[in-house]
A = this chain, B = another copy of it.
């Protein structure tokens, strides 16, 4: 069997996650990592070669799919369309409001080069988006609910770290049990932001910092915390490193709705993820969609797609007839 040749662009948590996912994926192999750092300074977990990002175009003939593992704020908006000029690409662009523009940019580049791109792959956007789509299609008379957590929000943790007097911080987003119970009852409640999630912060204050001022700054921070019930715990750096080192996350997508001429029957669809490592799970989703990108490109498809445009069988290593026999 000819293996699908994969490269990684960007070697942070996500890139390392793709590297370890590929170590357990017999039909694919990792052939290189591209970085903007000095390649000599970077040692991969599996010893795979490291190249300069500028050398990516020269390697185009040796790589079937490039998995982009950079950030949505600064890397992917330019990197994905740039690399789509040379490669089939998969990214995890997750700035929801900017997805339509990113799609257009990547679609144009990939159509011009005759490559296949899949953007916004992961779990939200990604598997959660799929479930919103299936849920709405199957229960058109109903309501959507998405809950996140319990899990670490990097964005909120970063926001706390920017407050004067804060040395380090970790923020957990936690779904409110009472809200979950209402949704699971099928009652289709209307829930405010405050009713759906709470925010729990573990903060390391600098020596002599005013902890009460820090707590107020957190709880009143617009957009990030002011609409939530937030608890703040001051702990030592040792405690933070010992108890809050992981990057767990997860959440739930619900579609609840009615069927019957008079809407007499209720149905509840719940999709729930409980993840020990947010970046490693996202990497695993990226890896599965890289298989789809390769196959779609082989079939002659070009341009940009999202998870909504890709049939599930493209993600799975087995053939159509094997899937029908074992999964249906």
Interface residue ranges, A against B (CB under 8 Å): 17, 19-21, 23-25, 45-46, 96, 99-100, 103, 120, 125, 127, 129-130, 132-134, 136-141, 184, 186, 259-261, 265-277, 280-281, 283-285, 288, 291, 306-313, 315-317, 320-321, 323-325, 327-328
Number of this chain's copies in the complex: 2
Given contacts A24-B140, A125-B328, whether A312 and B323 have CB atoms under 8 Å apart is: no
Decide: A284 and B139 in contact? CB cutoff 8 A.
Answer: yes
Determine whether the beta carbon of A270 is less than 8 Å from that of B272: yes
- 20 other A-B residue contacts (CB within 8 Å) besides A133-B327, A184-B274, A267-B277: A19-B261, A20-B260, A24-B141, A99-B328, A100-B325, A130-B312, A137-B291, A137-B315, A138-B285, A139-B284, A186-B274, A259-B284, A265-B275, A265-B277, A265-B280, A267-B281, A268-B273, A269-B272, A307-B328, A308-B316
**Chain B residues in 8 Å Cβ range of A268:** 272-275
**What is the distance, in angstroms, from A296's C-beta to the closest C-beta of chain B?**
11
Docked-complex contact B316 and A312, CB < 8 angstroms = no
Distance to closest chain B CB from A122 (angstroms): 10
Chain B nearest Cβ from A14, distance in angstroms: 12
Q: How far is the CB of A262 from chain B (nearest CB, A)?
A: 9
Q: Are A21 and B270 in touch, CB under 8 angstroms?
A: no
Minimum-distance CB pairs A-B, first 9: A137-B315, A265-B276, A265-B277, A259-B280, A268-B274, A137-B288, A125-B328, A308-B313, A270-B272
**A99 to chain B: which residues have CB within 8 Å?**
324-325, 328
Complex CA gap A261/B21 in Å reads: 7
- Of the residues B25, B129, B184, B273, contact of A269 by C-beta under 8 Å: B273
Chain B residues near A283 (CB, 8 Å)? 259
Can you pick out 11 interface pairs between chain A and chain B where the beta carbons lie within 8 Å of each other? Answer: A21-B259, A23-B261, A24-B140, A99-B324, A127-B138, A136-B327, A137-B317, A138-B284, A265-B280, A268-B275, A308-B323
In the complex, residue of chain B having the shortest beta-carbon distance to the beta carbon of A246: B265
A311 touching B313 in the complex, CB below 8 Å, given contacts A21-B259, A96-B328: no
Residues on the B chain within 8 Å of A285, using CB: 138
What distance in Å separates the Cβ of A311 from its nearest Cβ neighbour in chain B? Answer: 5
The reply to whether B328 and A120 contact each other, CB–CB distance below 8 Å, is yes
> Given the complex of chains A and B, what is the CA–CA distance between A312 and B269 in angstroms?
16
Contacts A21-B259, A120-B328, A260-B280 given: A315-B133 contact, CB under 8 Å? Answer: yes
**Contact of A310 with B311 in the complex, beta carbons under 8 Å:** yes
Is there an interface contact between A312 and B308, defined as CB atoms closer than 8 Å?
yes
Assembly CA distance A310 to B288 (angstroms): 17
Is B324's CB under 8 angstroms from A134's CB? no
Complex Cα–Cα for A17 and B186 (A): 20
B267 touches A137 (CB 8 A): no
Chain B residues with CB below 8 A from A138, complex form = 127, 281, 284-285, 288, 315
